[in-house]
Structure 1
Amino acid sequence: MAEAAVDACEIARLPEEIVSATLARAGPREACRAAAVSPAFRAAADSDAVWACFLPRDLPPIADGELPAAPPLSKKELFLRLSNSPVLLPNRLVSLWLDRETGAKCYMLSARQLYIVWSDTPRYWTWIPLTDSRFSEGAQLLDVCWLEIRGKIQSKMLSENSTYAAYLVYKIDTEFYGLDSPVQEASVSIGETKLTRRVCLQDYDDEDREIPENYRPMRPFVRFMTRRRNRQVVTPGENAQLPHKRTDGWMELELGEFFNEGGEDGEVSVDLTETKGGNWKKGLIVQGVEIRVKKSG
């Protein structure tokens, strides 16, 4: 007991600048823990000097009304706000949040921000209001035999030296067909590097498959159940990436990953297509494409 008191006393003697510099190198989670366990660390751990190191230097402009106008947020409050839930960018077609562990920038491109073939033809696609999303509308597939969805983002909008993954975020309507076979092709490209994989929008075997914690639901704890129809399970030989169910009621399908080295004014392209089988498809509801930091393991 006496030794602990002596240690705490010695810690309290450290200059706040040294404590701040140490915590700034440790990361957001460690700074929060330090503030919780040691009163001697609290002032430094909550300081703007520490949390400014965790915020990206090049945050994009945020849409009006997304952050409180007054009083101004501290650096810690701003980080916690941006890492807790997405905020909209000025065109309200893209959302942004920060990865809680690294401070890396993550985005979702709304369906309106994507290029969806035939989306402006009411016979094939329709635009529906979304009540469980930050975006006002999504794209619902009525009937097509040519599925093509593409998204792009400038690499300079992303955090440097970070590995990202891209996900299609969607639901399947109660009436659907053609989403399980033939499987789809997904690709992610940055610069001269392009990776392609086989994916399947529909998965019957494991609806409760777990997903990483670092995505940020647009509307938390909204549940949605889909009815199974035209059941056709993807065979193991097809080796297709399958979707996961999120806690916000949406599905997500990983389309690929990439490393953003930074320093280049390039473009990241994300594609999902099925144009070879000629099978008609129905029932896909697209919220957008999410690009977030890929967690190891």
Structure 2
Amino acid sequence: MEEACEIARLPEELVSAALAHTSPRDACRAAAVSPAFRAAADSDDVWARFLPPGGLPPLADGEVAVPAPPSSKKELFLRLSAGPALLQDRLVSVWLDRETGAKCYILSARNLFIVWGDTPQYWTWIPLEDSRFSEGAQLMSVCWFEIRGKIHSKMLSQNTTYAAYMVFKTTDNFYGLDFPVQEASISAGATNSTRKVCLQGNDDDGGGEGGVPENYLPMIPFPVRRLRRRNRRVVSHEENATFPQQRTDGWMERELGEFLNEGGGDDGEVSISLVETKGGNWKSGLIVQGIEIRRKKSG
């Protein structure tokens, strides 16, 4: 107890300087130690160190400042880490990782390059009620599946490992998302990575009773097509494909890969893609909100 009292006698400036070299979580914990620590832990000097150097890209009107502008650097950080804030074009949103302050983004479907995305026969745009973005892309029917996104590396936090995720839902009558599996690629600087992913989990029934839906018509000769209708295909472990996970916001996500953003003033781009163009199988029923880029947590 005496040791705690001695620590409480330290000058607030010294405590603030020490806490500024920790993390947002450590600063919040320190605020619970004593009233003296709380004043230092909540100071602007501490929380200014947790905000991104150089600030954020310009935000859309009303973002963060509602119902009133933040009264401190800590309040600003907490608002930015509570959920995505739209940028000025309202096609990209940003938030801060609560543990490290790293900048994270979601690129909306409108911000992505989708092959045939403006052809209603193949893709259509629908309103979204459970997203910060006003609309998403719904896959009607394609046999050439290609979605690409990119972001400037300078928009990301330096020396941070990121992961990219496709954020999506499926309609009740989706089909063709399990085979062939899709190929996800990420290019960042001189580093390129590719992996196999599947937007349909093995537990999904694809809308049928143990068989491929009748409207699942791959572009292959008729005898082989009949065989696949009788035997619904399950992606094998040998293909090493990763599967979707449920999010707390009601959407699904599938990790597309990870990359290290070293920064250092490089004005390069990070390119992300999800493609399946070799099988000729028709696909339908995917609703794309966008691609999320967030700090990769260890473990």
In the alignment, residue 80 of structure 1 is paired with which amino acid?
L
How many angstroms does 1:269 deviate by?
Answer: 0.2
Q: 2:41 aligns with which of 36, 45, 54?
A: 45
In structure 2, what is the equivalent of residue 276 of structure 1?
A: 278
**Aligned with 1:241: secondary structure?**
coil
Whether the aligned pair in 2 keeps the contact of 1:11 and 1:40 (CA below 8 Å) is no
In structure 1, what is the equivalent of residue 234 of structure 2?
A: 233
How many angstroms does 1:12 deviate by?
Answer: 2.2
* Identical columns (%): 73
Query: Within 5 A, what are the aligned runs for 1:77-156?
Result: 77-156=75-154
Partners of 2:282 and 2:192 in 1: how far apart? Answer: 28
Superposition TM-score, scaled by structure 1 size: 0.89
Whether the aligned pair in 2 keeps the contact of 1:23 and 1:30 (CA below 8 Å) is yes
How many angstroms does 1:71 deviate by?
Answer: 4.4
How many angstroms does 1:38 deviate by?
Answer: 2.1
How many angstroms does 1:72 deviate by?
Answer: 4.0
Partners of 1:156 and 1:75 in 2: how far apart? Answer: 23
Query: Within 5 A, what are the aligned runs for 1:254-293?
Result: 254-263=255-264, 264-293=266-295
Partners of 2:50 and 2:9 in 1: how far apart? Answer: 25
How many angstroms does 1:61 deviate by?
Answer: 1.1
Larger Rg: 2
Whether the aligned pair in 1 keeps the contact of 2:177 and 2:199 (CA below 8 Å) is yes
Superposition TM-score, scaled by structure 2 size: 0.89
Q: Which moved more, 1:43-52 or 1:70-79?
A: 70-79
Partners of 1:168 and 1:64 in 2: how far apart? Answer: 27
**Aligned with 1:26: secondary structure?**
coil
RMSD: 1.4
Partners of 1:50 and 1:232 in 2: how far apart? Answer: 55
**Aligned with 1:265: secondary structure?**
coil
In the comparison of the two structures, how many residue pairs are matched? 274
Change (3 A) 1:71 1:105: closer
Partners of 1:227 and 1:202 in 2: how far apart? Answer: 8
Whether the aligned pair in 2 keeps the contact of 1:126 and 1:139 (CA below 8 Å) is yes
How many angstroms does 1:62 deviate by?
Answer: 1.0
How many angstroms does 1:7 deviate by?
Answer: 2.4
1:203 and 2:205 aligned: no
